[in-house]
Amino acid sequence: MGIEVANSVCGLLGFLTNDGTSDDAVARVADAMHCLRHRGPDEHGTWHDDDLVFGFNRLSIIDIAHSHQPLRWGPPEQPGRYALTFNGEIYNYLELRAELAEQHGAEFTTEGDSETIVAAFHHWGADAVRRLRGMFAFAIWDTVERELFVARDPFGIKPLFMATGSAGTAFGSEKKSLLELADVIGIDTDLDPRAVEHYTVLQYVPEPETLHRQIRRLESGCHARLRPGKEPEITRYFRPTFPVRPFAAGREQDRYREIAEALEDSVAKHMRADVTVGSFLSGGIDSTAIAALAKQHNPDLITFTAGFERAGYSEVDVAAESAAAIGARHIVRVVSPTEFAAAIPEIVWYLDDPVADPALVPLWFIAREARKHVKVVLSGEGADELFGGYTIYREPLSLKPFEYLPAPLRRAAGKISDRIPEGTRGKSLLHRGSMTLEERYYGNARSFNDAQLRAVLRDFRPEWTHQDVTAPIYAQSAGWDPVARMQHLDLFTWLRGDILVKADKMTMANSLELRVPFLDTEVFRVASQVPLDQKITSGRKGVPATTKYALRQALEGIVPPHVLHRAKLGFPVPLRHWLAGTELYDWAHEVITESGTDHLLDKAAVTRMLVEHRAGPIDHSRRLWTVLCFMIWHGIFVEQRITPQIQEPTYPVEL
């Protein structure tokens, strides 16, 4: 693209010792960096002083010839005061550099965004993170104050794992690198049984948990200060709110234009790179909008999509039509069930903790294909959470009649639903209508109910529920409309636990940077003000029943008409059919039989689920996939029985 921008998406690893013996850990940190090689194959390096070791693998995106890390920076009177490792991109770094130079006389020796972060921290302190528009996880070591400052972006686009043990605190882009250093840090590698139960229900491990008891994640929108021998002091700096601003009658077009302008500005900034930028493209409005706007900045834009041969489970044709409409070159990757199953162990290794979302498999394949052509892709993640795009957000409309029932009658409806056979039409509606929003809505994923959990988990604890995760989040949204509360919950659960994990891990597994323009603080500011009737519509007063209504209106003239009002599909996977048929049934049976999880799971109960699923009509595919992914994860990281064949394909150097 030829725009002067800087930095790199990378893999970072660090260890802050308690007793100033970092020399002893340098070699171990350097060795553990092999776990992060896929995140940054272009450069590798370490830096240390008495207290701290930094390790870094770089995927060069901006200011390729400079901005090397770990990076040293300081004001003229204290050159080299700070050391930085940084994973991500700051899209407004040019504007921040100009402000820092003009107001504070800050001096820079590179053209990158890395120096901008450190200079901003020096002059603005911890408040600097509020000024950054981008995706990031970074660590700044102040060699004068002997204090480490680590931070993560507002939405959790980039990961950061942390572990504090008897010898110090380690932090890294991937959990597997911390497991390699467990004895150095002074932590054990025991599993967290509550996290296992949460995963089984939610299909992902909710932040800040991981499946390992002593390794946690710094949550999205948080920063932490660490000193040798002290516990991390964690502060939340970003709390998403939905300060709804009703659309004034007759001024709706002004608000739609405001949404479009915010997204256009975000895409323009996300296109900043010294390498070729492409775009993922499904058949939906979100990715199509991003691709259409990106095409304005890159006339030679390449778009990518994945699909399956089974009818009804592919958006290849719609995506191809969209690419043709916006004038982009389009590349398709069709995934077979054999390839799908064969890739699972490698994919689970990259994930660190299992995520039972089958859509991450086609994402892995299309990321691998895209990396042959580009080094950066844009994608549409986050639009549904910000603008109200999930079909389940319509649930408060369908359940509204239950709100008029006295509480005893609602509870009675729930008891009646319990006696209705599984799979009977109306059972779910009656059951969900009997509950409050806080009771029924786990986030945009739900796998096992309590009865099913009790049958599968050896050590089922009824006191460990989804409300461990959701109650504190719901407490922050009291008084909001129900859809805003669901969006808010999904920002803290489904988005950062599933959507952004698979986006980061599957692209970084292929040394590909993924950027998500919807998840920009300025886009969120505009989206958070959209009222309920501009998100979810019921089909009355001449307005079609739809989701993301305001966004669809804002994108008229940007998104091709055949996509503008099309229902959401994403990257659908024919898992239900494959697990019941010849494609994956025998594979799944073998995974269950060979798994060493007998102490955690009732494998006979899981096998019965598989047989029941094949016989029909009950669909156990979601639950089965959750268990199968865990079994493969356990075989890799706990039993060490499964050794994935990690492929490191060779890609073009210049893209």
- Whether the per-residue pLDDT at 350 is higher than 90: the answer is yes
502-552 pLDDT per residue, tens: 999 999 999 999 999 999 999 999 999 999 999 999 876 667 789 999 999
Asked if residue 325 lies in contact with residue 354, where contact means CB atoms within 8 angstroms, the answer is no
Q: What is the CATH number of domain 7-236?
A: 3.60.20.10
Structural tokens at position 412: 């009675």
Amino acid at 143: T
Please list, in sequence order, all residues whose beta carbon lies within 8 angstroms of the beta carbon of residue 598, skipping any fewer than 6 positions away: none
The share of the chain scoring above pLDDT 90, in percent, equals 76
Please list, in sequence order, all residues whose beta carbon lies within 8 angstroms of the beta carbon of residue 39, skipping any fewer than 6 positions away: 9, 10, 11, 57, 59, 87, 173, 174, 508, 511
Asked if residue 40 lies in contact with residue 11, where contact means CB atoms within 8 angstroms, the answer is yes
Structural tokens at position 252: 């709706």
pTM of the model: 0.94
The strand pairing partners of 304, in sequence order, are 280, 331
Cis upstream peptide for 70 (omega within 30°): yes
pLDDT band at 7 (very low <50, low <70, confident <90, very high): very low
Rounded alpha-carbon distances, angstroms, from residue 417 to 190, 432, 435, 444, 490 = 39, 9, 12, 22, 27
**DSSP tag of 537:** B
CA distance 107 to 112: 12
Structural tokens at position 593: 């039989």
Query: Would you tell me which CATH number, out of the four given (3.30.450.20, 3.40.50.620, 3.40.190.10, 3.20.20.70), belongs to the domain 252-389+493-564?
Result: 3.40.50.620
Please list, in sequence order, all residues whose beta carbon lies within 8 angstroms of the beta carbon of residue 255, skipping any fewer than 6 positions away: 247, 530, 534, 550
Question: Phi, psi at residue 437, to the nearest 5°?
Answer: -55, -45
CA distance 297 to 300: 9
- Whether the per-residue pLDDT at 654 is higher than 70: the answer is no
Structural tokens at position 347: 């994919």
Q: Find the radius of gyration of the CA atoms of the chain.
A: 24
Asked if residue 501 lies in contact with residue 220, where contact means CB atoms within 8 angstroms, the answer is no
Per-residue confidence (pLDDT) for residue 354, from 0 to 100: 98
Which is higher by pLDDT, 326 or 68? Answer: 326
- Whether the per-residue pLDDT at 203 is higher than 80: the answer is yes
Helix (H, G, I), strand (E, B) or coil at 16: strand
User: What are the residue ranges of helices labelled H in 420-466?
Assistant: 427-433, 437-440, 450-456
CA distance 171 to 135: 17
Select which of 10, 35, 222, 629 is catalytic.
Answer: 10
Per-residue confidence (pLDDT) for residue 398, from 0 to 100: 86
Instruction: Give long-range contacts, CB 8 A cutoff, 24+ apart: 101-106.
Output: 106/75
Q: Characterise 274 by phi-psi region: left (phi > 0), alpha (psi -120 to 50), beta (else).
A: alpha
Least confident of 126-135, 435-444, 609-618: 435-444
CA distance 115 to 108: 7
Rounded alpha-carbon distances, angstroms, from residue 124 to 132, 356, 402 = 12, 41, 51
The answer to whether residue 222 is catalytic is no
Amino acid at 64: I
| Residues in the chain, overall count | 655
Stretch 452-458: mean pLDDT, rounded? 94
Residue 266 neighbours by CB distance under 10 Å: 25
Per-residue confidence (pLDDT) for residue 179, from 0 to 100: 98
Helix (H, G, I), strand (E, B) or coil at 636: helix
Instruction: Give the DSSP H/E element, type plus range, for residue 139.
Output: strand 134-142
Show the beta-strand stretches assigned E in 379-510.
Answer: none
CA distance 448 to 455: 10
CA distance 477 to 454: 31
CA distance 101 to 160: 30
Largest separation between any pair of C-alpha atoms in the chain: 75
pLDDT band at 6 (very low <50, low <70, confident <90, very high): very low
Structural tokens at position 503: 């986006």
- Domain residue extents for the chain: 7-236, 252-389+493-564, 400-443+446-484, 575-637
CA distance 336 to 306: 11
Per-residue confidence (pLDDT) for residue 134, from 0 to 100: 96
Structural tokens at position 424: 């009977």
